[in-house]
Amino acid sequence: MAWRGWAQRGWCCGQAWAAPGAARSCEELPAALVRPRLLGRRFNFFIQQKCGFRKAPRKVERKSDTGTSGEAYKRSALVPPVEETVFYPSPYPIRTLVKPFFFTVGFTGFAFGSAAIWQYESLKSRVQSYFDGIKADWLDSIRPQKEGDFRKEINKWWNNLSDGQRTVTGIIAANVFVFCLWRVPSLQRGMIRYFTSNPASKVLCSPMLLSTFSHFSLFHMAANMYVLWSFSSSIVNILGQEQFMAVYLSAGVISNFVSYVCKVATGRYGPSLGASGAIMTVLAAVCTKIPDGRLAIIFLPMFTFTAGTALKAIIAMDTAGMILGWKFFDHAAHLGGALFGIWYITYGHELIWKNREPLVKIWHEMRTNGPKKGGGSK
pLDDT at 378: 44
DSSP state, 45?
A: E
pLDDT at 64: 34
Sequence spans of domains, the chain: 94-132+162-369
Of the chain, the end-to-end C-alpha distance in Å amounts to 82
pLDDT at 270: 84
Please list, in sequence order, all residues whose beta carbon lies within 8 angstroms of the beta carbon of residue 135, skipping any fewer than 6 positions away.
none
pLDDT at 130: 65
- 334 counts as catalytic: yes
- Among 76, 201, 255, 276, the one annotated catalytic: 276
pLDDT at 25: 43
Q: What Å distances lie between residue 153 and 133, 158, 160, 324, CA to CA?
A: 19, 9, 11, 52
Listed residue (211, 177, 239) closest to 333, CA to CA = 211
Q: What is the mean pLDDT of each run of 10 residues along the chain (378 residues)?
A: 43 42 43 40 39 45 37 57 54 82 96 93 78 58 57 80 89 95 91 91 92 91 92 92 95 95 87 92 93 78 83 91 83 93 93 90 84 49
pLDDT at 85: 46
Q: State if pTM tops 0.85.
A: no
Whether domain 94-132+162-369 has CATH 1.20.1540.10:
yes
DSSP per position, 333-367: HHHHHHHHHHHIIIIIHHHTGGG-HHHHHHHHHHH
Which residues pair with residue 42 across a beta bridge? 37
pLDDT at 77: 62
For residues 28 and 51, the answer to whether their CB atoms sit within 8 Å is: no
Q: What Å distances lie between residue 288 and 234, 280, 281, 283, 340, CA to CA?
A: 12, 12, 10, 9, 11
- One-letter amino acid at 221 equals M
Listed residue (169, 282, 174) closest to 234, CA to CA = 282
- 331 counts as catalytic: no
Cα Rg of the chain, angstroms: 26
Alpha helices in the chain (DSSP H): 93-96, 98-142, 150-160, 163-182, 188-194, 206-210, 218-239, 241-266, 276-289, 307-324, 331-343, 349-351, 357-374
Distance CA(261)–CA(101), nearest Å, equals 10
pLDDT at 49: 38
pLDDT at 148: 54
pLDDT at 301: 72
19 burial class (0-12, 13-18, 19+ CB within 10 angstroms)?
exposed
pLDDT at 261: 92
pLDDT at 95: 85
Q: What Å distances lie between residue 50 and 47, 307, 319, CA to CA?
A: 9, 50, 39
36: alpha, beta or left, given left = phi > 0 and alpha = psi -120 to 50? beta
pLDDT at 323: 86
CA angle 264, 94, 253 (to 5 degrees): 65
- Among 69, 334, 349, 364, the one annotated catalytic: 334
**Any idea how long the chain is?**
378
